[in-house]
Amino acid sequence: MNPYHYKNNQLCIENLAIKQIEKTVKTPFYCYSQSTIHGAYQSYTSNLQQLDTMICYAVKANSNQAIIKTLADLGSGADVVSEGELRRALKAGVQAQKIVYSGVAKTSHEIQFALENEIFQFNVESENELDLLNQVACQLNKKAAIAFRINPDVDAHTHEKISTGKSENKFGIPISKARDIYRKAANLEGIIVQGVDVHIGSQLTDLAPFQMAFDRIKLLVLDLEKENISINVIDVGGGLGVNYENHENVSYGIEAYCQMLQKAFADMNCKIILEPGRSLVANSGLLISKVIYTKQGEDRDFLIIDAAMNDLIRPSMYDAYHDILPISNSNNQATYDIVGPVCETGDTFARNRTIPQMNEGDLLAIATVGAYGSVMASTYNTRLQIPEVLVKDQTSSIIKARTDYETLINQDSLASWQ
C-alpha cells in the first residue's frame, strides 16, 4: 500500500504532485499521506471484528500532533513511553482511558503525571517499578491499573537493535518469574492487576515468533486464573513489519496477523490491546530531497543530496533499505552512492543503487519513512530540523515548520564566567 504514484512522469502523493508542494516548502522535508494512515488503521479494525480490541498507536513511531490526531479521530488510543509522549497524546485528543504507558524506566514524576491523568494501564517491566508505582499511587490515594510486560524468551528474528523479547534483552519480566510477581502485585494496596503484556520486537518479517509468544502468554493467563488472579486485558504489543524493498520480504500483512490474533484469543474473554507503530504510519511518508552535487569518484558516482543522516537515521543506524524515487521519472538509468552532507561516512542513504539518472537540482523521494523518521531526527552538524507536511487528496498543510538558526543557536547560553 503505497501513497505515491506517477502521473505524466511526475511523482504524486495522494493526488498532489510533489513539485507542487516544493513550490512553497523548501527541501528537505517529510510529507505524509493521510489516507494511507487511514487505510492501515482500517486494515486492523476491519479484520478484528470478532475480538474486543483497543488499538493503541505506538506514538514513538511518529509523534507529530497531526499524525496522532489523524489516528485519534478514527478512535485510536495511544501507547506512550515517556511523559512527553503522554502529554503529546493527550494534547492531540487521545482519551486518557485509551492510553497505555510502556517503558523500562518510568520515573516517580512520570508515574505521578500519568496517575493524575487516569490513564488506562501501566505496562510494568520490573519489580522495582511495581514497588515505586504502588508507593506513588498510595501517596496520591489512587490505584494504578497494571499489566506486566512479560519477556517470553522468543527470538523475533529481527535486527538486533530492535529485538526485545529474548531473555538477554533489558525488557520485561522473565516468564519464569511471572507468577511470583503477579501474586505479589495482587496484594498491593495501590495496584489493580488487570493484564498481561508482551512486545517482542519491531519489523518482524514472519508471523511465527508472534504465534510462539502468544501461546506462551495464553498459558500464563490460564495459570494465573488457577491462582485466582484474573486477567481481563491481553496487550500483544506491536512489531509488525512493513516492506521497505520493492521486492517483498515481510511474509504477511495486517490481515493475516489479525486472523492469527482472532484465532489465538477467541476463547479468552479478554480485551485485546494492540500497540502498532510502524505498520500504521511507515508507508505514508516520503522524505523529499534535492540533489546538490553530482560527483564522480574513482570507481563510483555519487549523488550528494540535501537530506542527511540527522534527518533520517535508519540507514546508518539499522542498515535500513529505503526505496529512492525520482520526482520526475525518466528512462535513462544510472548507478549511484546516494549520500548526505554530514561529515560522517555513515551519512549514506544507499550504495550502488540504480535509479533513473539525476542531475544537480533534481528532486528525489526516499520512501517508507513515516515511522522512525522525523522522530529520530537531530540537529547534528547544526542542521535545522526539517518541516513535515500532511497531504489529503489535493491539499497539503505544514504540520511542523522548519526551525531557524536563531532559535536553534539561542538554545545554548554562555557559562556564568564567560
Task: Give the residue with the Cβ less far from ligand PLP, 150 or 355.
Answer: 150
**Total number of residues that touch ligand PLP (CB under 6 A):** 18
Q: Which is nearer to ligand PLP, 61 or 111 (CB)?
A: 61
60 versus 69: smaller Cβ distance to ligand PLP: 60
Nearer to ligand PLP, 56 or 193 (CB): 56
In the region spanning residues 178 to 217, those forming contacts with ligand PLP, defined by CB under 6 A, are 199, 202
Please compute, for residue 172, the number of CA atoms within 13 A of its CA located in the half-sphere on the CB side. 29
Residue of the chain from 77, 172, 209, 238 that contacts ligand PLP (CB under 6 A): 238
Residue among 124, 170, 174 at smallest CA distance from 152: 174
Which window, 15-23, 38-46, 113-121, 236-244, contacts ligand PLP (CB under 6 A)? 236-244
Active site residue 270: no
Q: How far is the CB of 131 from ligand PLP (least distance, A)?
A: 21
Please report, as residue ranges, which positions from 98 to 157 form the binding site for ligand PLP (by CB under 6 A).
102
**Minimum gap (Å) between residue 175 Cβ and ligand PLP:** 16
Q: Does the protein bind ligand PLP through residue 383 (CB under 6 A)?
A: no
Name which of residues 309 to 348 contact ligand PLP (CB under 6 A).
Answer: none
Residue 220, interface with ligand PLP (CB under 6 A)?
no
- Residue 2 C-beta: closest distance to ligand PLP, Å: 19
Taking CB under 6 A as the binding criterion, the range among 25-33, 63-71, 186-194, 238-246 that sits at the site for ligand PLP is: 238-246
Select from 132-140, 233-241, 326-334, 335-343 the region that touches ligand PLP (CB under 6 A): 233-241
- Out of 28, 276, 326, 340, the only residue in the binding site for ligand PLP (CB under 6 A) is 276
> What 3 state SS string does the chain have?
CCCEEEECCEEEECCEEHHHHHCCCCCCEEEEEHHHHHHHHHHHHHCCCCCCEEEEEEHHHCCCHHHHHHHHCCCCEEEECCHHHHHHHHHCCCCHHHEEECCCCCCHHHHHHHHHCCCCEEEECCHHHHHHHHHHHHHCCCCEEEEEEEECCCCCCCCHHHECCCCCCCCCEEHHHHHHHHHHHHCCCCEEEEEEECCCECCECCCHHHHHHHHHHHHHHHHHHHCCCCCCEEECCCCECCCCCCCCCCCCCHHHHHHHHHHHHCCCCCEEEECCCHHHHHHHEEEEEEEEEEEECCCCEEEEECCCCCCCCHHHHHCCCCCEEECECCCCEEEEEEECCCCCCCCEEEEEEEEECCCCCCEEEEECCCCCCHHHCCCCCCCCCCCEEEEECCEEEEEECCCCHHHHHCCCCCCCCC
152 upstream amide cis, omega within 30 of 0: no
Min dist CB 71 to ligand PLP, Å, is 13
In the complex with ligand PLP, which residue's Cβ is closer, 58 or 377?
58
Contact pattern for ligand PLP over residues 65 through 104, marking x by CB under 6 A? --------------x-x--------------------x--
* Minimal distance, residue 15 CB to ligand PLP, in Å: 28
Among residues 64, 121, 279, 283, the one that binds ligand PLP under rule CB under 6 A: 279
Where on the chain is the footprint of ligand PLP (CB under 6 A)? 58, 60-61, 79, 81, 102, 199, 202, 237-240, 275-279, 371
Residues annotated as part of the active site: 343
